Amino acid sequence: MQSLILTTTTRLLAALLLMFSVYALLRGHNLPGGGFIGGLIGATAFILYTIATSEIEARRALRVGPSNIAVVGLGIAGLAGLSAGLAGEPFFTGQWLFLFAEDGGKGLPLSTVLVFDIGVYLAVFGGILTLVFALEEEI
Amino acid sequence: MELLLAITIGIVVATSVYLMLDRNALRFLFGLVLLSNAVNLIIFAGGRLTVGAPPLIPDGAYAPVGVVANALPQALVLTAIVIGFGLLAFTLALVYRTFMTLGTVNSDEMRIAEPRDKRELDTGRLGMGKADPEHPATGQEAGI
Amino acid sequence: MSWLLVYPIVIPLMTAVLSYLFRNTPAGRWIAVAGTAALLLASLLLMADVLEHGVVVAQMSNWEAPFGITLAADLLGAVMVVITAITGMATVVYSLSDIPVRLERMGYYALLQILLMGVCGAFLTGDLFNLYVWFEVMLIASFGLLVLGGNREQLDGGIKYVMLNLVSTIMFLTGIGLLYGITGTLNMADLHLAVREVQNQGLLTTIAVMFMVAFGVKAALFPLFFWLPASYHTPPVAVSAIFAGLLTKVGVYSLIRCFTLIFDQDVGFTHTLLLWLAVITMVTGVLGAAAMNDFRRILSFHIISQIGYMVLGLAIFTPLGLMGAVFYLVHHIIVKANLFFVAGVAKRIGGSTDLSRLGGLYAHAPLLAFLFLIPAFSLAGFPPLSGFWAKYVVVKAALDLEMWIVAGISLVVGLLTIFSMTKIWGAAFWPAHPDGIKPRLSDLPMGDRLALMLPIICLAALTCIIGLFPEPFVQFAERSATQLLDPTEYITTVLGVQP
């Protein structure tokens, strides 16, 4: 589809959507949000781009094959679960690291839960795009 | 409220069964989509309907404050929706690819994997037997 | 907490990730081989642990049962994981020759590993909803494998497979939703206790039948089996072998698990229903096979008929019956996968799986003919092969309860099985090839021959070992059946309390 308005706004919107998807991902631990919804929003950016330009263009913009992204996401999520083993706790138990933590405060909380969420983000992002690109190719 | 939900589920299931009785694979798929939504409602109703806040724990507390909704069915429904979405999207792509390759979505006409045998057709037995010489499975590549 | 329960799930996952990333290079397939070998090792370690310590349990994320997801392995679960790993190993080795590079680049090995992960997860989980999730993992991988390559036959069979399995999945989910509604828990061990306190036993039986339908479709029980003969002969041989070996057995396993642990409150109704379904399944399966004229389609119908024996063992619901079911389950996975492998080699050197276009295999490939006879006779139940003991125990269990008709029918079905096996023998192995081809194994390159024949030889040897030294296997099945009928150990280990 060729539409000047769509292609122009897509540039802005796609960037905004991608940024918002990362925001949703990071917000997810204590508030509504998280890897799944973040991945969906991120995929929306590229779907919009596909509609505005073409599936080939979108693939080029993505650089890496979407199925590879999804699989890497799966691997990251699995590793996040496995990391609990290093601490001698059951599979998928969250491990926390509080950077610069002062008395009473939490400082900068880092956790394997976040790593898992990033894995989910990539898996959803890649999975949805694999599907959409495949369908787009057919039609 | 439960009664209303039960009646709704009943109507959705009835509609989906009607759709799934069709020989058109696409209609069958739409029936499946409806049916999976009905099942999600069943799980949701199974967790009891409560008027309450979302099950979020406020900062600093260790348990939710006041009456909150049952979180488990929500988690189950969410999982079921996600999985259902993936499966149904795959199936839609499969139906489309099948239509492009076989030229039909009518399940009665899909007989390539189980070809009718002429000889057995005459004696009234359908769908059993060896390869049909008129419609040999060519193994034409379509590449999914 | 035992990490041994996690490995059979994580190893295939990581193998899938790596082999997918390297799918365009030969490294991908060797990663798959190594990963499956690691899975086999892990499953054997798990087995050793279960034999030594009894039921092994792991609470995911440190959430106590029944609130979190529990993984648990009793004897049945452990042996199923071992047999999954063995079949997986055989399939991966066979695939080295059977799967063209084109399919490899589409991620064949990754899908296969995801399938193994789903199957292992289903065998190890102690949570009903988690079982649903593993079913889905297995299903999506099997969809992919079934239509990978996408020729006309595959799409045709794939549509029927996908649609009917989705219906079963939705039925399963409905059952889970209703069961949660009346008991408030989904942990299987907790459910065992919770269903006893339910007032409305009639509703519980309704849910039980819902589960029966859902697992019945997966297990290809009469009258829900039509997707199986429509699709199992269409994908590449390696794929149909692992499907034939494992997938329907996950349905049978789930039936056994649910109808011993959860739904044993109305045995008079549910298990009698299962009994007659099993008998009709046996008969329809074997009659369907008798009408077929294609190597793989005959074998597909035989899966259905053999499923009948396993469910029969469950339906009899005595220690001996369940023991037979467990023994049959293990024996049948090995034998059926092996027969599909043989069909694949026959297709490779003879050019077809259609019996009217095959021939001369006995004259030109006597080794293959011999290796066909072992699983074929085992399937039919000839002593001293594994199938004999499996059938013997099931029929004995039926006779003990004086079910003369049931026992009689299962013996006749055994005879008819021999009929189809001789039909294959009489068309594909004995006469000369109709096109004058001389199907020789030695025409295959050395590497192909090794990859194709090694799994067949190993599985055939396993059949013989079980047949010739049945003592430890029978004892194992007996212990496993006792554990199933009296799940106290399972429940106390999972919940950590005395019921």
Q: What is the pLDDT of residues C136-159, one digit of tens each?
A: 999 999 998 988 887 888 888 888
Provide the pLDDT for residue B143.
36
Q: Decide if C391 touches B, using CB distance below 8 A.
A: no
Inside any domain, residue B109: no
The domain of B36 spans 2-50+69-102
Per-residue pLDDT reduced to its tens digit, C289-314: 888 888 888 888 989 999 999 999 99
In the 8-state DSSP scheme, what is residue C26? T
Indicate which CATH number applies to the domain containing B97: 1.10.287
Token couple for B77:
């429904």
Q: Following DSSP, what letter does each residue of C280-291 receive, concatenated?
A: HHHHHHHHHHHH
Position B138 pLDDT exceeds 70: no
- Chain C CB contacts of B20 under 8 Å are 167
CA distance C325 to C252: 9
Residues shown for chain B = 144
* Cis-peptide into C66, omega within 30 deg: yes
Per-residue pLDDT reduced to its tens digit, B39-88: 999 998 888 887 777 777 777 778 877 788 888 888 899 889 888 888 88
Provide the pLDDT for residue B117.
61
Nearest 5°: phi and psi at C71? -105, 135
The domain of C438 spans 267-491
Inside any domain, residue B24: yes
Q: Please, what's the b/e burial string for B31-56 (b: 16 or more CB within 10 A of its CB; e: otherwise)?
A: bbbbbbbbbbbbbbbbbeeeeeeeee
Inside any domain, residue C37: no
Q: How confident is the model at residue B129 (pLDDT cuts 50, 70, 90)?
A: very low
- Chain B CB contacts of C155 under 8 Å are 94, 97-98, 101-102, 142
Chains that touch A (3 or more CB pairs under 8 A): B, C
Q: Decide if A64 touches B, using CB distance below 8 A.
A: no
Inside any domain, residue C52: no
Inside any domain, residue C227: no
ipTM for the predicted complex comes to 0.88
Q: Give the total number of structural domains in chain C.
A: 1
Per-residue pLDDT reduced to its tens digit, C164-187: 899 999 999 999 999 998 988 888
- Single-letter amino acid code for the residue at A139: I
Per-residue pLDDT reduced to its tens digit, C109-131: 999 999 999 999 999 998 999 99
Inside any domain, residue C191: no
- Closest alpha carbon to C336 in C301, C369, C362, C312: C301
Inside any domain, residue C473: yes
Position C211 pLDDT exceeds 80: yes
- How distant is the Cα of C178 from the closest Cα of chain B, in angstroms? 6
Q: Is C76 helix (H, G, I), strand (E, B) or coil?
A: helix
Contact assignment for C14 to A92 by CB distance below 8 Å: no
Provide the pLDDT for residue B126.
41
Interior CA angle at A106 toward A100 and A108, to 5°?
50
Inside any domain, residue C136: no
Helix pair C319-350, C470-485: axis angle to 10 deg: 130
User: CA of C61: which chain A residue's CA is closest?
Assistant: A93
Strand spans (E) along A3-107:
96-99
Position A22 pLDDT exceeds 90: yes
Helix pair C319-350, C386-400: axis angle to 10 deg: 150
Inside any domain, residue B37: yes
Inside any domain, residue C277: yes
Inside any domain, residue B56: no
Contact assignment for C1 to A90 by CB distance below 8 Å: yes
Per-residue pLDDT reduced to its tens digit, C220-278: 888 888 888 888 888 888 999 999 889 989 999 999 999 988 888 888 888 888 999 99
Q: Decide if B136 touches A, using CB distance below 8 A.
A: no
Inside any domain, residue C366: yes
Per-residue pLDDT reduced to its tens digit, A64-120: 889 899 999 999 998 888 888 777 777 877 777 777 766 666 667 778 888 889 999
Contact assignment for A131 to B97 by CB distance below 8 Å: no
Provide the pLDDT for residue B98.
86
- Chain A CB contacts of C110 under 8 Å are 71
Contact C256, C314 (CB under 8 A): yes
Q: Measure CA C18 to chain center.
A: 26
Inside any domain, residue B136: no
- Chain B CB contacts of A36 under 8 Å are 82
Range of weakest confidence among A5-14, C73-82, C434-443, C454-463: C434-443
Per-residue pLDDT reduced to its tens digit, C34-93: 999 999 999 999 999 998 888 888 888 878 878 888 888 989 999 999 999 999 999 999
- Chain C CB contacts of A92 under 8 Å are 60-61
Position C190 pLDDT exceeds 60: yes
Query: Which candidate from B35, B94, B140 shows the least CB-CB separation from C162?
Result: B94
Helix pair B25-46, C152-183: axis angle to 10 deg: 20
Residues 6+ apart with CB under 8 A from C447: C96, C97
CA distance B28 to B22: 6
Q: Give the total number of structural domains in chain B.
A: 1
Burial of C226 (C-beta count, 10 Å sphere; 0-12/13-18/19+): middle
Mean pLDDT in chain B?
A: 77
Contact assignment for B39 to C148 by CB distance below 8 Å: no
Q: How far apart are the first and last CA of chain A?
A: 13
